[in-house]
Structure 1
Amino acid sequence: MLRFGCQKFLNALPILRGLETDSGEYALTLDSPSRLARMLHERQLDAAMVPAIEYLRNPDYVIVPDVCVAALGKVGSVNLYCRKPPDETGLVALDPSSLTGVMLVKVLMLKRFGAWPKYFVAGHVRLRDLSRTEADAVLAIGDEALGRPPDGYQALDLAEQWFQMTALPFVFAVCCAHRGTDLGGFDGTLKASLAKGLGEIPEIAAEAAPGAGLTRERLESYLAQNIRYNLGPAEIQGLRRFFKEVVEANLWTEERDLEFYRG
């Protein structure tokens, strides 16, 4: 049975829409991006939606085509909450749930704002607790970041900042597998599941919004307008540019070309 992992965020709902929780052909694991990355690395999963930076860090990985989590401009769910201007920020608290978000903060602080603050890992951040931290800025990732920050904080949408710097989409997550893994047609199953989800976003939003503390309209807008799910030419260009920026910022040693799964 193929083992597939996906992020336990609202933006995963369209990807998962056509998958069956009790399928005899595959088993689903829903968890944080960082835990999924570890499970895939340790071969506890055969394929998983993982932070895009994991592909750069693992030369044995290939990308399963067509499916991603990306944004062209504002994404809404990956924000840096600042109580000082970015170029005056001296201390940043990081949410470690996605290494891609962490790397993006560091690239933007250096390349866009000309700053190189100190960083520390603060764990999962709740917006209501922002005022308790000593940091000048706090990274929040996922569903929590869709809420409103307390007074005194400016929310910098990191995908929007990336777009203003590069005019490219930013790819937060891709589906990866170890080179040589036989997905047994699951890549097609995943693509079909996403297609079903994209056609049912109003229904998904109506079902999920109450439990998420969002209005149906807000969640539908987020899934339909903020998130891009198809890994097309523009997203691939954005992914390559991100890897280039990471290496130039001395956050990783070398770039690697994109290698795709061919079932």
Structure 2
Amino acid sequence: MTPGGRAWRIGSVPYLNGRPLVAWFREPTAPADLELTLDVPSSLAARLRGGDLDVALVSSVEAFRGEGVAVVSDIAIAADGPVRSVGLLSRVPLDRVRHVAVDRSSLTSAALLRVIYRRRYGIDLAYTTAEPNLPSMLETAEAAMLIGDPAMRNDDDLYFMDLGAAWKELTGLPFVYAVWLARDDAAAKRLGPALRSARDWGLVRLEEIAADWSKESGLPLAIAREYLTDVMHYDLSETKRRALETFRELCEACVVMTRTHPVRFL
């Protein structure tokens, strides 16, 4: 329990890539004083800033957007190259895209797309935020950016950019999509061991988690299994920390953000 006597509040994303990091919290063996809630990245970030959550698995861009937050533990959602679950789908060739409808739940991926287009094509994209519905998004813009499971159900008739592959081509580095963040050092120190235990529990059950997700979502089992076992990385190595710092520098250089703050690790 917190010093105030309530359960510690943990927030995570409702996507397949987050399931291995939090599935344990629903098990009887997990600590009883932890309360898990699932929400989209943009809402998680707002709830963490507002004090509604003690720690949250949030978009990595939040690690340097504002002061007073710290990365908890050595855990991340990352990929080294193609990620499949973060993609741009376009009606026109990629170098002709000027207007993108962006999944309103996205934070990091929207910033990443702007960096890639500025560096690769010298283009400043115009954005419209929208619900993640591909047909309606493409009615209002030339291209749509989707995250999570919807991005893995892409249409072969559309031009497609995997943002993880594009970042790898641009920098030679993996990309960190999400990290555990806390606003309070005491919460970070208390919850760090539990977050690691949850990650370790999930990593030895990836096949089981993929099978459960496939049944729940209808995503083909082969895709869910390969995604968790071959695509996703759940560590925050020195190389991935360097990749996060490179992303921060490019967000400033491409004026995606006018000011960022150094990432603080606990």
TM tier, shorter chain? Answer: over 0.9
Tell me which residue corresponds to 1:167.
Answer: 172
**Residue 35 of structure 1 corresponds to which residue in structure 2?**
43
Q: Which residue matches 2:151?
A: 145
**Structure 1 residue ranges (4+ consecutive) displaced by more than 6 angstroms after TM superposition:** none
TM-score by length of 2: 0.92
Partner residue in 2 for 1:15: 21
Please report the TM-score for the alignment, with normalisation by the length of structure 1: 0.93
**Aligned-pair distance for 1:257?**
2.3
SS of 1:185's equivalent in the other structure is: helix
**Does the CA-based 8 Å contact 1:21-1:27 persist in structure 2?**
no
Q: 1:102 to 1:244 in 2, by over 3 A?
A: same
Deviation at 1:137, TM superposition (A): 1.1
Shift of 1:181: 3.4
Aligned to 1:221: 226
Cα distance in 1 for partners of 2:20, 2:230 equals 13
Q: What SS does the corresponding residue of 2:67 show, helix, strand or coil?
A: coil
Is the Cα–Cα contact under 8 Å of residues 65 and 261 in structure 2 kept in the other structure? no
- Residues 86 and 115, structure 1, Cα contact 8 Å, conserved in 2: no
Specify whether residues 154 and 41 from structure 1 end up closer, same or farther in structure 2 by C-alpha distance, changes over 3 A only: same
Q: Where does residue 127 of structure 1 map in the other structure? A: 134
What is residue 61 of structure 1 aligned with on the other side?
69
SS at 1:112's partner residue? helix
* 1:2 to 2:8 alignment: yes
How far did residue 147 of structure 1 move? 0.6
Q: Which residue of 227, 238, 241 corresponds with 2:246?
A: 241
Residue identity opposite 2:53 in structure 1: L
Residue among 33, 36, 42 paired with 1:25: 33
CA distance in 1, matches of 2:259, 2:73: 23
* Equivalent in 86, 91, 96 of residue 88 of structure 1: 96
- Paired with 1:48 and 1:200, the residues of 2 have a C-alpha distance of 22
Q: Distance in 2 between matches of 1:174 and 1:183?
A: 12
Secondary structure, aligned partner of 2:24 = coil
Deviation at 1:150, TM superposition (A): 5.7
CA distance in 2 between counterparts of 1:125 and 1:214 reads 17
Question: Structure 1: how far apart are the matches of 2:134 and 2:224?
Answer: 18
Give the Å deviation of 1:255. Answer: 3.7
* 3-state SS in 2 of match to 1:168: coil
Aligned partners of 2:229 and 2:192: how far apart in 1?
22
Matched ranges for 1:152-231 at <5 A: 153-183=158-188, 185-231=190-236
Post-superposition offset of 1:34:
0.8
Provide the residue aligned with 2:124 in structure 1.
116
Residue in 2 that maps onto 1:253: 258
Q: Distance in 2 between matches of 1:247 and 1:118?
A: 18
Distance 1:128 1:88, change over 3 A: closer
CA distance in 2: counterparts of 1:124 and 1:238, whole angstroms: 29
- Across the aligned residues of Structure 1 and Structure 2, the Cα RMSD in angstroms comes to 1.6
* 1:217 aligned counterpart, secondary structure: helix
* CA distances 1:56-101 after superposition (whole Å, capped 9, x unpaired): 1121101002111111101111100012222211211111212111
Task: Tell whether the 8 Å contact from 1:128 to 1:149 is kept in structure 2 after alignment.
Answer: no
Which structure 2 segments of 5+ residues have no match? Answer: 1-6
Shift of 1:183: 4.0
The structure with more helix, counted as a fraction of residues: 2
Could you give the per-residue CA deviations for residues 221-247 of structure 1, whole angstroms, max 9, x where no partner exists?
001111111111111011000000000
More deviation, 220-229/184-193: 184-193
Distance in 2 of aligned mates of 1:183 and 1:65: 8
